Amino acid sequence: MAASHIESQLGFLKRNPIYNTVKPYSLRYDPEDGTPRQNIETDMVPVTINDARSLRPTIEQHGFALTSIPTAMTYDDFFNQDKIDRVYAAELQSHLKTFFNVPHVRVIDYAVRRRHPEFPVSTGRQYEHQQPAALVHLDFSHEEAVNMLETLYGCNASQVLKHRWQIINVWRPLKGPLYDWPLAVCDAQTFTRSRDSQSADAVYPESVYENVLVHHHPSQQWYYFPGLLETETMLFKCTDSDTTASGPSPHAAFPLPRTAGTSNSPRESIESRAFILWAPLEQLPQEVGPLYGKRG
């Protein structure tokens, strides 16, 4: 049986005064002009990470929850981007509409991560697959989410934006039970945006988007689901248009002490992000612009 909590480390953005005037950024490519790839200074902080199974968390109170999303996908199917687009995205949309009791869900993208056996030690070469994200963050800022909807629906975006919306992360292992670099999530009740968050830019050769990096604070409470099965799926909130609701739930991967569970093969997982839309429309407006693209 897993312990009620474990001790590990999480990576946080340093509380450096420079970020009062200079925005953190990371370049997702190698610049040819010698520009530094990033200006992000981090702290590895010892953190107690609690067993979320005994908490029975809810999105409304804690900002994260556990659910089970039936899928026709096999393990091998997750190597097939077209099948993820056609089958898995539709399964997510159907489940999330029921889970949140909303008329519309728009799946944004997905990312498949397969940990290289040497991660987090650099191999000196680019990894074939995306690796666990070990820096605590929120995938999109509130402002970026609004920009995404305005770009997607153009002049008709107000039909969506005047009603409640959220971005929800959907995360599941491709093999379980998972004990290798699991995902830690912060109880939204213990995360204070004005105190703990810092907007940052993720820069690609032809685009940029704004995410949120997180400073550590002793009042934050962290959780994970020990031994997560491939039949189990974590949901956690990225942003919410309802500012009176429970806030977002920052997250990061972390190394699990061997004493906390049975070791297994390197972690393989798929994460997706989706707009949860309360707009009481028979159909969403026609899409006229691009949405942030797939990274898988």
Buried b (16+ CB within 10 A) or exposed e, 209-235: bbbbbbbbeeebbbbbbbbbebebbbb
- Residue 117's pLDDT is 85
Q: From CA 195, how far away is CA 198, in angstroms rounded? A: 9
Mean pLDDT of 251-265: 76
| C-alpha dihedral (247, 143, 129, 294), degrees to nearest 10 | 120
- Examine residue 165 and state whether it is found in any structural domain, yes or no: yes
pTM for the full model?
A: 0.93
Q: Are 103 and 280 within 8 A, CB to CB?
A: yes
Longest C-alpha distance within the chain, in Å?
55
pLDDT tops 90 at residue 296: no
Nearest Cα residue to 110 out of 136, 139, 67: 139
Q: Are 175 and 265 within 8 A, CB to CB?
A: yes
- Examine residue 292 and state whether it is found in any structural domain, yes or no: no
Q: From CA 162, how far away is CA 31, in angstroms rounded? A: 40
Q: From CA 296, how far away is CA 115, in angstroms rounded? A: 14
The pLDDT tens digits for 110-141 are 999 999 887 876 655 676 778 889 999 999 99
- Examine residue 223 and state whether it is found in any structural domain, yes or no: yes
- Residue 263's pLDDT is 56
Q: Which residue has the higher pLDDT, 32 or 79?
A: 79
- Residue 60's pLDDT is 96
Gap between the terminal Cα atoms of the chain: 34
Q: What percent of the chain has pLDDT over 70?
A: 93
- Residue 1's pLDDT is 41
- Residue 122's pLDDT is 61
pLDDT tops 80 at residue 144: yes
The pLDDT tens digits for 205-229 are 888 999 999 999 999 999 999 999 9
Mean pLDDT of the residues in the chain: 92
- Examine residue 248 and state whether it is found in any structural domain, yes or no: yes
Q: From CA 192, how far away is CA 189, in angstroms rounded? A: 8
Q: How many domains does the chain have?
A: 1
- Examine residue 294 and state whether it is found in any structural domain, yes or no: no
CATH code at 232? Answer: 2.60.120
- Examine residue 290 and state whether it is found in any structural domain, yes or no: no
- Residue 18's pLDDT is 94
Q: How distant, in Å, are the alpha carbons of 64, 83, 146 from that of 60?
A: 8, 32, 21
Q: Of 24-38, 42-56, 131-145, which range is least confident?
A: 24-38
Q: Of 49-63, 121-135, 152-166, which range is least confident?
A: 121-135
The pLDDT tens digits for 271-292 are 999 999 999 999 999 999 998 7
Q: How buried is 25 (Cβ within 10 angstroms: 0-12 exposed, 13-18 middle, 19+ buried)?
A: middle
The domain in which residue 139 lies consists of: 5-277
Q: What are the DSSP calls for 49-99, one per residue?
A: EEETTTT---HHHHSEEEE-------TGGGG-HHHIIIIIHHHHHHHHHHH
Q: What are the DSSP calls for 206-228, one per residue?
A: TEEEEEEEE---TT--EEE-TTB
- Examine residue 285 and state whether it is found in any structural domain, yes or no: no
List strand residue ranges (DSSP E) for the chain, in order: 5-13, 25-27, 42-51, 64-67, 104-114, 137-138, 165-173, 183-186, 197-204, 207-214, 222-224, 233-240, 251-253, 268-277
Q: From CA 270, how far away is CA 294, in angstroms rounded? A: 12
- Residue 121's pLDDT is 61
- Examine residue 17 and state whether it is found in any structural domain, yes or no: yes
